[in-house]
Structure 1
Amino acid sequence: MPQKRRYKSRRTNYRRKSNKNNRTTIILIAIVAVFVVSFFGYRRYVQYQSESKVEMVQQDHSQFIKKVSPYAVELGRQYGVLPSITIAQAILESDWGTSSLASQYNNYFGIKGEDPSNTKVLQTKEYTNGQWITINGRFRVYSDFRESMKDHTKLLVDGTTWNSQQYRQVIQSKNYIDAAVALQTDGYATDPGYTNKIIRVIQKYNLKKYDEGIK
Structure 2
Amino acid sequence: MKRLFLLISLLVLSKFSAQTWATEDQYIQKFAQYAVEEMEKYKIPASITLAQGLLETGGGQSRLAQEGKNHFGIKCKEDWTGKTMKHTDDAPNECFRVYDDPKQSYEDHSIFLATRKYYTKLFDLDMKDYRAWAHGLKKAGYATNPRYASILIGKIEKYKLYEFDEVNSKEVLYAVLKKYPDLKDDRAFMARMEPAKATKKTTTPVTVKVPYKATSYAQQQQRVERIKTKAEILNSILIKSHPNGGLKYIVIPEDTDVQYIAKKFKISESKLMKWNELEGMVLAKNEVVFLESKNSDGNTATYKAEYGEDMYDIAQKFGIKLNKLYSKNRMDEGQKPSAGQLIYLIDKKPRN
User: Is the Cα–Cα contact under 8 Å of residues 82 and 98 in structure 2 kept in the other structure?
Assistant: no
Task: Find 2:88's aligned residue among 116, 123, 126.
Answer: 123
**In the alignment, structure 1 residue 172 sits paired with structure 2 residue 124:** yes
Moved over 4 A (4+): none
Task: State the match for 2:271 in structure 1.
Answer: none
Task: Find 1:66's aligned residue among 5, 15, 29.
Answer: 29
Answer 1 or 2: higher relative contact order, Cα 8 Å, separation at least 6: 1
Secondary structure in 2 aligned to 1:139? Answer: strand
**In the alignment, structure 1 residue 88 sits paired with structure 2 residue 13:** no
Structure 2: gaps spanning 5 or more residues: 1-18, 169-352
Task: Find 1:111's aligned residue among 64, 67, 74.
Answer: 74
Task: State the match for 2:107 in structure 1.
Answer: 150
Secondary structure in 2 aligned to 1:124? Answer: coil
Identity of aligned residues (%): 36
User: Is the Cα–Cα contact under 8 Å of residues 170 and 180 in structure 1 kept in the other structure?
Assistant: no
User: Is the Cα–Cα contact under 8 Å of residues 156 and 171 in structure 1 kept in the other structure?
Assistant: no
**In the alignment, structure 1 residue 98 sits paired with structure 2 residue 61:** yes
CA distances 1:96-130 after superposition (whole Å, capped 9, x unpaired): 111000011100000011457522121013xxxxx
Secondary structure in 1 aligned to 2:89? Answer: strand
User: Is the Cα–Cα contact under 8 Å of residues 36 and 167 in structure 2 kept in the other structure?
Assistant: no
Task: Find 1:184's aligned residue among 116, 138, 148.
Answer: 138
Larger Rg: 1
Structure 1 length-normalised TM: 0.63
- Larger helix proportion of the pair: 1
Secondary structure in 2 aligned to 1:113? Answer: coil
| Aligned pairs for 1:5-20 within 5 A | none
CA distances 1:150-206 after superposition (whole Å, capped 9, x unpaired): 0001111111xxxxx211232232110000001101111111111111000000000
Report how far residue 84 of structure 1 moved: 0.3
CA distances 1:65-102 after superposition (whole Å, capped 9, x unpaired): 01111111111011100000000000001111110000
Structure 2 length-normalised TM: 0.39
Whole-Å separation in 2 of the counterparts to 1:86 and 1:139: 19
C-alpha distance 198-156 of structure 1, shift in aligned 2 (>3 A): same
Secondary structure in 1 aligned to 2:88? Answer: strand
